[in-house]
Amino acid sequence: MVKPVFQRYWNPYIVLVAAGLLSALYFGLTGTVWAVTGEFTRLGGEVLQVLGVDVSGWQYYQMIKLEGSTWSRPDGWIVWGMFIGALMMVLLSNSFKIRLPQHKRRYVQGFVGGIIAGFGARLALGCNLAAFFTGVPQFSFHSWIFIVATGVGTFFGAKLTRMPWWKGKPTLVRGAVRGSDVKVRVIQPYLGAVIALVYLGFVGYLFSTGQGLLGLGALFGLAFGILIERGQVCFTSAFRDLFLVGRSLMAKAIVIGMAASSVITFVVISVYGLPPITQVAALSTLVGGGLFGLGIVMASGCETGMMYRLMEGQVLFLPVFVGNVIGATVLAYGWDNLGIYDALVKSGEKINLIDTVGPLGAILGTLAMLGILYALTVYREKNYHRNFGLKGGIA
């Protein structure tokens, strides 16, 4: 009974609904949302401080509160918990293996894509999580602008990556398994179990020492990491595969997950009176979403996809991660120093559907828009296969 749980990936619908419910619960407990690129930006600021750069006067870091260290912030433990949760499941499933891209150009492409995605995400004040998966359930209108813009960016990114000069010539890779690889695979599940026990012990320590918020961040980060790895949750593949091969499973699961999260979040807001988290809807949201969509396709992974794939041993996603942090940090610098705020953000405003159309209108409108998004996804899938079938028949 235990072995199949680790050896098989989990149903995306179950995974995304669980993630949506957990994100709503996390909001109810902490008043904040599941997000990662904000912490990536703070991490970039910390690195600059270590290098002697004074970022205290940067407005962006004042806005997102660069205080303490990544180890003393709940958002920090959300990120590291996701990495650890993903690694734990990779090891328990005996699937860790160092994998190198076939072409060295992929390191550059991934790095540049990471920079563009990180820059775009923070320009839009959120990535595939805070401006998408957890942004829609907060009824923040900026999330819908971000979704449309990301879809457009992903479409052009898919066109770009299909070009011969981008892909390069295919090369043959031998699939022989060395003896050392066999030994490593034997110990992987034991190492995964040890990591799980140590980490859970650490979470218990945080709660027992009165560091409840850090404990919640670490615990929920672990759960999110487990889910994204077992469900292979990647927003890049959801958009890209829909455009390239007409595959819609992940896209439909994401929409269902957001619908479930929206309902529970609405209940939390209504019962406990928590203010929904609303971000500015402005030209920056449109531009940032487009850049984010383009960047994640160039990098072959969004933030969630990058995290679990890096833990699987896919070396490509190390420069993607570094690029993401750099891109977010560059945006933090340019926010006021290069006039980005004045040019793209200042004229916008925070629009929350609950305030605009009322609580009932907000939840019904959100579910209706998600229904339309689901229907468009199904239409794209059927239309692709219909056209592909016609072309195949003519050939």
Per-residue pLDDT 10s for the chain (395 aa) are 445 566 789 999 999 999 999 999 999 999 999 999 999 999 999 999 999 999 999 999 999 999 889 999 999 999 999 999 999 999 999 999 999 998 899 999 999 999 999 999 999 998 889 889 999 999 999 999 999 999 999 999 989 988 888 877 766 445 444 545 555 678 999 999 999 999 999 999 999 999 999 999 999 999 999 999 999 998 888 888 888 788 889 999 999 999 999 999 999 999 999 999 999 999 999 999 999 999 999 999 888 999 999 999 999 999 999 999 999 999 999 999 999 999 999 999 999 999 999 999 999 999 999 999 999 999 988 888 777 654 544 33
Comparing C-alpha atoms, which of 35, 82, 77 is closest to residue 277? 35
Q: Is residue 238 part of a domain?
A: yes
Q: What is the pLDDT of residue 1?
A: 44
Q: What is the pLDDT of residue 239?
A: 82
Helix boundaries (H) for the chain: 2-7, 12-30, 37-50, 59-63, 74-92, 105-123, 142-161, 164-167, 179-208, 212-230, 235-244, 249-272, 283-299, 303-311, 317-337, 340, 353-394
Q: Is residue 171 part of a domain?
A: no
CB 255 within 8 A of CB 80: no
| Dihedral angle, C-alpha 198, 202, 207, 213, nearest 10 ° | -120
| pTM given for the model | 0.91
Q: What is the pLDDT of residue 235?
A: 87
Structure tokens at 145: 């602008």
SS3 116: helix
Spell 99-131 as b/e; 16+ CB within 10 A means b: eebeeeebbebbbbbbbbbbbbbbbbbbbbbbb
Residues in the chain: 395
Cα–Cα distance for residue pair 76/74, rounded to 1 Å:
5
Q: Is residue 178 part of a domain?
A: no
Residue pointed to by tokens 């690889």: 181
Q: Is residue 174 part of a domain?
A: no
Please list the residues that pair with 140 across neighbouring strands: 352
Q: Is residue 357 part of a domain?
A: yes
Alpha-carbon torsion 173, 175, 181, 187, what sign?
A: positive
Cα–Cα distance for residue pair 53/267, rounded to 1 Å:
44
Instruction: Give the residue numbers spanning the domain of 39.
Output: 15-164+183-394
Q: Are strands 280-281 and 349-350 parallel, antiparallel or unpaired?
A: antiparallel
Amino acid at 47: V
| Max CA distance (Å), the chain | 70
Q: What is the pLDDT of residue 4?
A: 56
Q: Is residue 340 part of a domain?
A: yes
Q: Is residue 260 part of a domain?
A: yes
Q: What is the pLDDT of residue 237?
A: 83
Q: Please tell me the total count of domains within the chain.
A: 1
Q: Is residue 176 part of a domain?
A: no
Amino acid at 55: V
